[in-house]
Structure 1
Amino acid sequence: MIISIDVDAQKTFTPLCPDELPVADGHHIVAELNAQAALADLRVMTKDAHSPNAAWLCTHPNDILQPTQLPDAPEKWVAHAIVGTEGFELLDGLPAETNYDFCVWKGVSPALHPYGACFHDVRERLSTGLIEWLTVRGATTIIVGGLATDYCVKSTVLQLLRGGNWQVLVNRAACRGIAEETVAAAWTEMTAAGAVILDNAAAIQHHLNPMQPN
């Protein structure tokens, strides 16, 4: 069973919402996310879903990543993916939420700001149900793409690798990251943990079916 996961493919992480957390070219991953989903049996959506009263909010970009002293939201961030705003929306060209097979909304509580999609809390005690759902569905291969490479994608991939006996493939062309240095470190960390990094959906297809002619 092959599962494709769209990690936080939302307008908040693109130049479409320049006052939030815009990731360069973040809005250009839709075609690759759809291409990797075409290789899968089921498709999962994850979204940041934040409160306008979140305890980790800061008003100035210079304060981003400053400590909060909150155990499950350790770093400050500017407002992003506030429920009901444009930034909360999925990228144009992706399915409607109701057309996915499983959905995760994370960070709803004002005191929580998880990066990975498998747990509601940073300490990884409160499951979102994603690992359990993948297990029940008999997942053997999980294909991951989304935003941003160096935070939510990386954390989700690492949680998946720890959470089950399946192969995790990461579609490089379906990801975009915030900073060159942290993106490079994320690729290294994911590879070291056992993820298979592939350049695009075509490379994933060849990996899954190496005997199939190009």
Structure 2
Amino acid sequence: MKLPDKKYIASFDIDAQNTFTPVCPDELPVAEGDQIAGELNAQAQFASLRLASRDAHSRCALWLSDEQHPPLSPIAGHPDLDIRWPAHAIIGTKGFNFIDGLDPAAYDFQVFKGIEPDKHPYGACYHDLKNTLSTGAIEYLRCHGVTTVICGGLATDYCVKNTVLQLKAADFDVILNLAACRGIAPDTVAQAIEEMRSAGVQIISCAAELAE
């Protein structure tokens, strides 16, 4: 693949937070989720802008699981909530923070998603599940003339997939760096990768391929 000039490229670190790693085993740990910083930093070298998204949740969120409502149980009657989740990425906790190796000051634009207690979005481009309430990420990329977005983060089969598909639907050329991602389960990761590939996303194994 041939990359455009660097000024047209952005790198997007999707939910690369402790909450999705073994560093926070009681939240939503993804195996090896704490090992992707090097690849995220490497892909950013090919971009003129660097973006990040973070889950930013409230202790009063309506989707929190409990003894009566176990994780993954469905939620009815709320258009922007689908299922229950354990407490994770609570603002002010270790889980909310970026994984080691990522510098918060390195980002040109950050998205905090899921701040509202009655919303639990997955993709980083919209605050709602119907993709109507923008986080500003798409507009930020467009106003800076970006045409290509290189993506990585956590987890491949949830927030990464949704963000990538949102960017593709907004007519960006999207590259997914597999070495900068980790997923929850092999079958859902494989399904997510195929879904992204079918949507026209370019899949690479590592950032070094960008130099070829």
Out of 85, 94, 97, the position equivalent to 1:86 is: 94
Alpha-carbon displacement from aligned partner over 1:102-125 (angstroms, at most 9, x marks no partner): 110000000000000000000111
4+ runs deviating over 4 angstroms: none
Q: Is the 8 A contact 1:2 1:141 kept in 2?
A: yes
Aligned to 1:175: 181
State the match for 1:64 in structure 2: 71
Instruction: Indicate conservation of the 8 Å contact 1:14/1:22, yes or no.
Output: yes
Residue of structure 2 in register with 1:4 after alignment: 11
TM-score by length of 2: 0.93
Amino acid at match of 2:129: V
> Identity of counterpart residues, as a percentage?
56
Q: What CA distance in whole angstroms lies between the structure 2 residues aligned with 1:191 and 1:32? A: 20
Q: Secondary structure at the match of 1:118?
A: coil
Residue 189, structure 1, aligned to residue 163, structure 2 = no
SS state of the match for residue 112, structure 1? coil
User: Hey, what does 1:153 align to over in structure 2?
Assistant: 160
Alpha-carbon distance in 1 for matches of 2:37, 2:141: 23
Superposed displacement of residue 99, structure 1: 3.0
Q: Is the 8 A contact 1:116 1:154 kept in 2?
A: yes
- Work out whether 1:125 is the aligned partner of 2:132: yes
Q: Report how far residue 93 of structure 1 moved.
A: 1.1
> What is the CA–CA distance in structure 1 between the aligned matches of 2:66 and 2:16, rounded to whole Å?
24
- Structure 1 unaligned segments of length 5 or more: list them: 207-214
2:25 is matched by which residue type in structure 1? Answer: P
* Residue pairs, 1:42-121, within 5 angstroms: 42-59=49-66, 63-69=70-76, 70-96=78-104, 98-121=105-128
Q: Does the CA contact (< 8 Å) of 1:171 and 1:204 recur in 2? A: no
Task: Give the match for residue 211 of structure 1.
Answer: none
Distance 2:106 2:176 in 1: 22
